[in-house]
A = this chain, B = another copy of it.
Amino acid sequence: MESRHLRYALALAEHQHFGRAAASLGISQPPLSAQIAAVEREIGERLFDRTPRGVFPTAAGVAFLARARRALCEMTAAAVEASRAARGETGRLRMGFIGSALLDPLPGVLGRFRRTLPDVRLDLREMSSPESAAALVAGELDVAVSRGAPRGAGVEGLVTVPIGADHLVAVVGVGHPFAGRAEIRLEQLAAERLIVAAPEQEPAVAAHLRGLFGVDATALDTATLSRDIHTITGLAACAVGVGLGPSRMRLASRKDIWFCDVAPRLRLPDLQLSFRAADDSPVLAAFLDVVRANCAEVGSRLDGVLAGRRARSSEPAPDRG
């Protein structure tokens, strides 16, 4: 049984006439008769009643035609779905991200992704930077947004591009002496009770801060550790101390807190977008297109990385287009 037989049977059922059905198929009448006869011989049942008033499906024909229609629909859908999958319009993208990324780059990127590729299932999982790096290497994620480039085993197989810079800012409750001041000096922080991200959550930030404070890191050793930005601002609002975090923390502003720049301006490890270099998934490619379209400066960085990948992957099939 070939799909041609299904098409021919459907055309015959539609036109109820061998000659016209054959014409609609672009063939002459005898081959159509032969093919229909072949199907009937294969199934062992007559599918059409040839009457002087037209050709009508038998009970067997009705049952056959119903399935034939569905089969042909599946076949065309196979081609369409394959094409869409190749363009990354269907499928799944598993993304790990740190909570602070939800404040700045992710809303725009994810919104655009949803709009341009509505049929891609987005699996979003908030996780710490070390967790996302491990999950990416293990193949449990397709893309990760972390702070600082991934560390650990297998990261050489990852491509990483910076997607957001931050400098250190302080946050205090509105009752704190710092409230109302545009900036404070780093030295002033050493005397304060600090609130910072937990090292196991953001080791890159923790190490960076320790470097900034130098040998006199007692302030850090007695700091209150927080899981995420919202805990830092919340604790600052409770006057537990002075929160320290990335500048995008300002986007999580509240009425009861005040942000101060820290002088000198101290750059934190960048937000990084990572994915497996060997991952040629079209969904990932489509996602990277969205990222590139959304942030121009990231785009140029990505282009450099992707140029190499695309050149390599297009070599085996240069005649594809």
Nearest-CB residue, chain B, relative to A46: B317
Number of copies: 2
Docked-complex contact A85 and B71, CB < 8 angstroms: no
- A68 in contact (CB, < 8 A): yes
Nearest-CB residue, chain B, relative to A45: B86
For the complex, give the distance between the alpha carbons of A58 and B280 in Å.
Answer: 9
For the complex, give the distance between the alpha carbons of A76 and B43 in Å.
Answer: 10
Select the residue from A70, A86, A281 with max chain B CB neighbours within 10 A: A86
Given known pairs A67-B75, A71-B75, A78-B68, the reply for A60 and B83 (CB within 8 Å) is yes
User: Restricting to A41-83, which residues have a CB under 8 Å from any CB of B?
Assistant: 42-47, 50, 58-64, 66-68, 70-72, 74-79, 81-83
Docked-complex contact A81 and B59, CB < 8 angstroms: no
For the complex, give the distance between the alpha carbons of A70 and B70 in Å.
Answer: 9
Report A167 CB to chain B, min CB distance, Å.
40
User: Restricting to A263-288, which residues have a CB under 8 Å from any CB of B?
Assistant: 280-283
For the complex, give the distance between the alpha carbons of A88 and B60 in Å.
Answer: 9
Choice from B3, B59, B83 contacting A44 with Cβ under 8 Å: B83
Choice from B60, B67, B82, B281 contacting A61 with Cβ under 8 Å: B82
For the complex, give the distance between the alpha carbons of A217 and B72 in Å.
Answer: 69
Docked-complex contact B64 and A82, CB < 8 angstroms: yes
Docked-complex contact B68 and A71, CB < 8 angstroms: no
Report A187 CB to chain B, min CB distance, Å.
55
- A315 in contact (CB, < 8 A): no
Q: Beyond A46-B317, A63-B84, A63-B91: 5 further Cβ-contacts under 8 Å?
A: A2-B2, A2-B3, A60-B282, A66-B78, A67-B78
Closest 3 CB pairs of A and B: A67-B78, A71-B74, A45-B86
